[in-house]
Amino acid sequence: MKQEKAVPVKVELEKTATRDMRVLYIKDLAPTTEAIKEVLGKGYGELMQYIQTHRLQPKKFMAWYNSVKPPWPVEVAVETDSLSAQLSGRIQSRIVTGGEVIIAHMWGPYDQVSKAYEKIHLWLKENNRKARGNPFEVYLNDPAMVSSPADIQTDVYQPI
């Protein structure tokens, strides 16, 4: 039996502030952890078709997970340069209010993203700060386009 080599994970924290974000999103449900990839792919496909049709500019590819275990209620989202007045299908829009955040910059496979959340929770405790709203993930590159899972980049934003 071949033993899999552990992929190193690196997480760095940054305290910063964000501006308001115009976000298009789709609410969906991934019944299992393995199904998340398919749910995200389908959601991003729908969002990008809408974005191209309405000549919007995509910025960040994001997701909110509204549970800490499966099934995963997820909001698949894309920040855009503006919001269209007319939405269609499952697509909804909102403005995510900017403000102070802790960002966990993570390099490593998605199945290790809990390490980013752990670092955020530890920072909040050590600095006597409170989370403001749910955290969200921002996907900075495409895992199919990197040479190693260690090169996958994900930022976890926690408003504070």
Structural domain including 90 reads 10-159
Residue 125, domain member (yes or no): yes
Is 89 inside a domain boundary? Answer: yes
23 lies in some domain: yes
Structure tokens, 41: 């792919």
Here the CATH number for the domain that contains residue 152 is 3.20.80.10
pLDDT digit of tens for each residue in the chain (160 aa)? 445 567 889 999 999 999 999 999 999 999 999 999 999 999 999 999 999 999 999 999 999 999 989 999 999 999 999 998 899 999 999 999 999 999 999 999 999 999 999 999 999 999 999 999 999 999 999 988 999 999 999 999 999 9
Length of the chain: 160
Q: Is residue 3 part of a domain?
A: no
- Residue 47, in any domain of the structure: yes
- Residue tagged 């955020």 (tokens): 120
Bridge partners of 22, per DSSP, are 80, 95
Neighbours of 27 (CB within 10 A): 14
Q: Token pair of 58, please?
A: 């995509």
The rounded Cα 107 to chain-centroid distance in angstroms is 14
- pTM (2 d.p.): 0.93
Residue at 4 is within a domain: no
The verdict on residue 148 lying in a domain is yes
| Rg over CA atoms, the chain | 16
**Domain for residue 5, yes or no?**
no
Other residues' Cβ atoms within 10 Å of the Cβ of residue 41: 11
- Counted domains in the chain: 1
